[in-house]
A and B are shown apart, each in its own frame.
Chain A
């Protein structure tokens, strides 16, 4: 088919149909005029028939087109379209009769040409009605189509096409051939007419409406048939348009399908509520499975569960009781209560707690794997009860109580469908909780990442030094954030301060204390205090902020590169490892010390010593936290002080960076790959050069 836009194609069909009809009218009137005036050489009847066939085909194409455009409109609209076309054709026919009634007795009423004109009008409208109805039936027949039905319909269309041309072959009307063809078409129409799958999908109301419309169609069809036939009998002058196998076959088909539909719809009326019920259940099920979205709550899904269960079992009253959730600190409550008062509910509960099989479940409140309890109770209004526990995450969330006024009111099907609803509800609630948990965890993770970034920024990215020494640092936290700390400060060209510290505990709380330590360092370092004074003041400051059982160990150093002098004091921190080029060996600088925050008064000073020493080029100083010496391997052995000292003894000649790398690599190699670090490691290496 040419790719004309749909609307244009429709218009062209209309134009063609009208033109064909006018041609047909003109041809027939001319012929009739000739016959009346007994003129020779009239137009042959074949031309009329061919025009008639063209008219049918154009109409068929037009309606086929326009219906496929309205593919999705509902059945009732389609049937109404057919019925209204039928009504229009019928009313027009009545108007013509009324017109003749008004003309009664006048010359005009006897005029064969006028009569012929009206005949053509009737014919056109009837064809219109039949063809459009037939195509609507096609749409209904092919609802939920199978391949076989499609093939049947295509065959029927071919047969109809052939039947149009039958008139050209067999000019004798109503002979055996014609009758045989007609009977064949009728039987085929009957076979097609058993495809009535659309009917069950109508609601009760829609069924009533469609019965009305179908009645209109049947009446119109019957009337139009009678009317066309009566035309034939009245006047032999007419060119008989209706003696066409196609037209009569369509009459039969439209009528048969309408009658079948009418009867089937009528007999379907009583069962339609069951079908609607099943459809509602399916929709409820879908609603339950989609109901919980993030941001909505569980009560909404329980609400849907209540409604669905109540309508599925035609329940007279119901309530939903949520159990107390100890962990979430929620008291038990009645969430929904339908068609029953508080007083009645309490009465019923009292009866249930005395009646088996409910009593054992309700009194013990542990359902195990119980799916439902069903039975009858001695109550004046409600005779049968169904209790279904609602579970989520293997716990019983609550119970659904359904009540009916009749005895044995719940059958197996109802219980099954309600159990399915409850199951789906549980899944929805579990999914909802999982989703919320996932969102929460995601948020914690993000916040921890932020803490990690903040803490990373607390450790210096660059360590102050001058050409007299190299310095290199490393730090790794066991958890996302750690409690190790080191920093440097430059007073002037030759004077530096260094600090290394370790906060007791690890993780987030340690990280907070570490940031306090950083604050204390930066405030006090500017006072340019000696190491002992520095630590005493730091202790005094931290004693006011640290929690009772928290402390910080640290060592503070001042380095004077002009005098080549180091002064230091140790506040409970691991003793510094010092390699002396002169002695050719390393040792731990163990002097008296006390952790910050342990003694929270002025007596702290007496527990602290200050050390002073001179360095030579080539000397190495290694500061570290206890994570290094206490690192354990898979046998539970600690890395230890001796290991650390031995490594430095072997590698003192390397640069600060290389020494640092060697030590860290050795620790990691000692611990092994399988073991996750359980403490923070930090290390500062200093190599003096001049």
Chain B
């Protein structure tokens, strides 16, 4: 089960993920990021506080947009991942490529300071 909420705040978009991302619903996540990228927003925040699980297919979605973020100069930050999900990002090495912060404040700070 996955539900995704997208809200705009100041100059950034917040994508909140609730539930689990696996092969069956990773397409939804893909569509949301695609939509976010198609606008003029330069700052994207992913709220992972309620993300319980992410499979390799879900990680594949984030991975596939890394290049686009760099090209379009989009700042992309994830925050609030629980220990287990964080570990998954870490093992794969994605934490070396994506800014991952503990709290929303830290995340927003990194967005606007960069």
- Within residues 12 to 55 of chain B, which ones have a CB less than 8 A from any CB in chain A? 23, 30
Assess A573 versus B96: contact at CB under 8 Å? Given A505-B23, A551-B63: no
Q: Which of A330-338, A343-351, A446-454, A587-595 contacts B (4 or more CB under 8 A)?
A: A587-595
Q: Is B64 an interface residue (CB 8 A)?
A: yes
Of A551, A571, A594, A597, which is within 8 A of B96 by CB? A594
Return chain A residues, CB-CB under 8 Å to B92.
551, 553, 572, 594-595, 598
Q: Which of B56, B61, B97 contacts A626 (CB 8 A)?
A: B56
Which residue of chain B lies nearest to A546 when distances are taken between CB atoms in the complex?
Answer: B60
B97 touches A599 (CB 8 A): yes
Q: Are A592 and B56 in contact (CB under 8 A)?
A: no
Query: Which of A504, A575, A593, A600 is the most central at the interface, judged by chain B CB atoms within 10 Å of its CB?
Result: A504
Number of interface residues, chain B, beta carbon within 8 A? 18
Q: Which of B23, B30, B61, B97 has a CB less than 8 Å from the CB of A598?
A: B97
Asked whether any CB of chain A lies closer than 8 Å to the CB of B94, the reply is yes
Which single member of A505, A548, A593 contacts B93 (CB below 8 Å)?
Answer: A593
Residue of B nearest to A483 (CB): B56
Chain B residues with CB under 8 Å of A180's CB are none
Does B96 lie within 8 Å of A504, measured CB to CB? no
Q: Besides the contacts A505-B23, A572-B91, A572-B93, what 6 more A-B pairs have beta carbons closer than 8 Å?
A: A548-B64, A549-B57, A549-B63, A551-B92, A600-B67, A626-B56
Does chain B have a CB within 8 A of A550? yes
A549 to B64, CA, bound (A): 5
Residue of A nearest to B56 (CB): A504
For A555-583 the 0/1 string (1 means CB < 8 A from B) is 00000000000000001111100000000
> Cβ of A598 and Cβ of B94 under 8 Å apart?
yes
Contacts of B61 in A (CB 8 A): 549
Interface on A for B, CB 8 Å cutoff?
Answer: 502, 504-506, 548-551, 553, 571-575, 592-595, 597-600, 607, 626, 638
Chain B residues whose C-beta falls within 8 Å of the C-beta of A553 in the assembled complex? 56, 91-92
Instruction: Determine whether the beta carbon of A595 is less than 8 Å from that of B64.
Output: no
Cβ-defined contact, B60 with A549, below 8 A: yes
How far apart are the CA atoms of A594 and B96 in the complex, in Å? Answer: 8
Contacts across chains A and B counted by CB atoms under 8 Å: 60
> Which residue of the partner chain A has the closest CB to B61?
A549
Q: How far is A574 from B90 in the complex, measured between Cα atoms in Å?
A: 10
Q: A574-B91, A598-B63 are in contact. Are A505 and B96 (CB under 8 A)?
A: no
Asked whether B56 lies within 8 Å of A607 as measured between CB atoms, the reply is no
Secondary structure at the B interface, as helix, strand, loop or mixed, is: helix
A–B complex contacts, Cβ < 8 Å, 29 sampled: A504-B56, A504-B57, A504-B60, A505-B56, A505-B60, A549-B30, A549-B61, A550-B60, A551-B56, A551-B59, A551-B60, A553-B56, A574-B91, A575-B91, A593-B91, A594-B92, A594-B93, A594-B96, A594-B97, A595-B63, A595-B93, A597-B63, A598-B63, A598-B66, A598-B93, A598-B97, A599-B66, A600-B67, A607-B93
User: CB-CB < 8 A to B57: which residues of A?
Assistant: 504-505, 549
Contact with A along B79-93 (1 / 0, CB 8 A): 000001000000111
Distance from B52 Cβ to chain A, minimum over Cβ atoms (Å):
9
Once the chains bind, are A504 and B59 in contact (CB under 8 Å)?
yes
A550 contact set on B, CB distance < 8 A: 60
Which residues does chain A contribute within 8 Å of B97, judged by CB atoms? 594, 598-599, 607
The 10 closest A-B pairs by CB, nearest first: A594-B93, A549-B64, A504-B56, A549-B60, A572-B92, A548-B64, A595-B92, A572-B93, A598-B63, A504-B60
User: Secondary structure at chain A's binding surface: helix, strand, loop or mixed?
Assistant: loop
Query: B87-108: contact bitstring with A at CB < 8 Å (1 yes, 0 no)?
Result: 0000111101100000000000
Which residues of B pack against A, CB within 8 Å? 23, 30, 56-57, 59-61, 63-64, 66-67, 84, 91-94, 96-97
The distance in angstroms between the C-alpha atoms of A592 and B97, with both chains bound, is: 12
Q: Are B93 and A506 in touch, CB under 8 angstroms?
A: no
Q: A574-B91, A594-B96 are in contact. Are A502 and B84 (CB under 8 A)?
A: no
Contacts of B84 in A (CB 8 A): 638
Q: Are A573 and B23 interface neighbours, CB within 8 A? A: no
Closest chain B residue to A626 by CB distance?
Answer: B56
A549→B92 CA distance, assembly (Å): 14
Q: Which of chain B's residues has its CB closest to A507's CB?
A: B23
Bound together, the chains give a CA A638 to CA B67 distance in angstroms of 32
Q: Out of B56, B63, B94, which one reaches A502, CB within 8 Å?
A: B56
CB pair A607 B64 closer than 8 Å: no
CB-CB under 8 A from B64, the residues of chain A are 548-549
Chain A residues with CB under 8 A of B91: 553, 572-575, 593
Please indicate the chain A residues that have their CB under 8 angstroms from the CB of B59 in the complex.
504, 551
Contacting residues, chain A, for B60 (C-beta < 8 A): 504-505, 549-551
Residues on B with C-beta less than 8 A from A572 are 91-93
Whole-angstrom distance from the CB of B88 to the nearest CB of chain A?
8
What residue of chain B has the Cβ atom nearest to residue A510's Cβ? B56
Q: What is the CB-to-nearest-CB distance from B82 to chain A, in angstroms, rounded to a whole number?
A: 12
How far apart are A608's CB and chain B's nearest CB, in angstroms? 8
CA distance A573 to B56 in the complex (A): 11
Q: In the complex, which residues of chain B have a beta carbon less than 8 angstroms from the beta carbon of A573? A: 91
Contacts of B63 in A (CB 8 A): 549, 551, 595, 597-598
- A315 to nearest B CB, angstroms? 54
A551 CA / B59 CA spacing, docked (Å):
9
Which partner residue on chain A sits nearest B64 by CB separation?
A549
Distance in angstroms from A681 CB to nearest chain B CB is 14
Contacts of A638 in B (CB 8 A): 84
